[in-house]
């Protein structure tokens, strides 16, 4: 990935990993647009980083995505990088779940259907750019699930699979497809901010950006802290790590 001279849209860009990526790419000389559902978070990000732009989008819902994509293209015709980062994570007790599965459906809509829908809406535009990148943000839990967040882990596993297929189908185009695989990072997702086991956000962003600026950029961006989860099956330690995580 060429990390300078781009116009980059980052969903979930008002906080956490999304904001960290936005600020890092902005510092490298890119035009960055952050999108998200919380206007206050977007305003705080743009106020702290003059030059970053923002657009409001609740990616959980299907209806606004096509109109949002058209707005982004109209306002930023040089858009050539999409980072699908927005996500929600909720604990679920499957023996006590809601009859309407509201939490599970919201998690799937936000973490899986949202990226698929936004990618589909922007793909014709990205194909017209001299070079373009789609980066999906999955999770180490896509490869080894945490049982108390079953739908989140399943949605991220599906996003990983979708990314593989997207890359294969776009291999003869000018669109590069990357996957950023975070470990447990200190963000407002679940209890990350208050848990000392979480990787500090600044450290994660710095290590991820170092990988992204390497040439050629690997298809999977894995910091050291996530490799135990990402390669649990390959290492032969899946059952041991699964038991430790879910004990």
Whether 213 and 21 have beta carbons less than 8 Å apart is answered as no
- The residue annotated as part of the active site, out of 68, 152, 184, 204, is 152
Q: Is 87 left (phi over 0), alpha (psi -120 to 50) or beta?
A: beta
Write phi, then psi, for 33 (nearest 5 degrees). -120, 125
Contacts 24+ apart (CB under 8 A), 98-101: none
Question: DSSP letters of 65-87?
Answer: HHHHHHHHHHH-TT--EEEE---
Say if residue 153 is exposed, middle or buried (CB neighbours under 10 Å; 0-12, 13-18, 19+): buried
Three-class SS state of 214? coil
Say if residue 7 is exposed, middle or buried (CB neighbours under 10 Å; 0-12, 13-18, 19+): middle
Q: What share of the chain is helix, strand, coil (3-state, %, to 5)?
A: 50, 15, 35
Say if residue 100 is exposed, middle or buried (CB neighbours under 10 Å; 0-12, 13-18, 19+): exposed
Establish whether 152 is a catalytic residue: yes
Residues acting as catalytic residues: 152
């Amino acid at each position: 990935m060429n990390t300078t001279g781009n116009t980059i849209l980052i969903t979930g860009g008002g906080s956490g990993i999304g904001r960290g990526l936005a600020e890092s790419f902005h510092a490298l000389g890119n035009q960055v647009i952050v999108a998200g559902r919380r206007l206050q978070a977007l305003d705080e990000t743009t106020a702290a980083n003059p030059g970053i732009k923002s657009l409001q989008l609740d990616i959980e819902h299907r209806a606004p995505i096509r109109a949002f994509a058209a707005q982004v293209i109209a306002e930023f015709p040089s858009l050539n990088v999409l980072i699908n980062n927005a996500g929600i994570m909720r604990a679920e007790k499957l023996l006590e779940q809601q009859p309407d599965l509201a939490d599970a459906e919201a998690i799937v809509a936000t973490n899986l259907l949202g990226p698929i829908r936004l990618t589909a809406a922007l793909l014709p535009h990205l194909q017209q750019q001299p070079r373009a990148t789609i980066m999906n943000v999955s999770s180490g839990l896509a490869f080894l699930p945490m049982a108390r967040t079953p739908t989140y882990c399943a949605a991220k596993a599906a996003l990983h699979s979708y990314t593989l297929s997207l890359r294969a189908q776009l291999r003869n185009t000018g669109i590069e497809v990357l996957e950023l695989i975070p470990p447990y990072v200190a963000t407002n997702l679940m209890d990350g901010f208050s848990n000392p086991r979480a990787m500090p956000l600044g450290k994660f962003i710095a290590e991820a950006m170092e990988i992204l600026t390497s040439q050629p950029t690997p298809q999977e961006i894995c910091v050291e802290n996530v490799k135990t989860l990402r390669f649990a099956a390959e290492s032969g330690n899946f059952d041991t790590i699964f038991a430790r995580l879910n004990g």
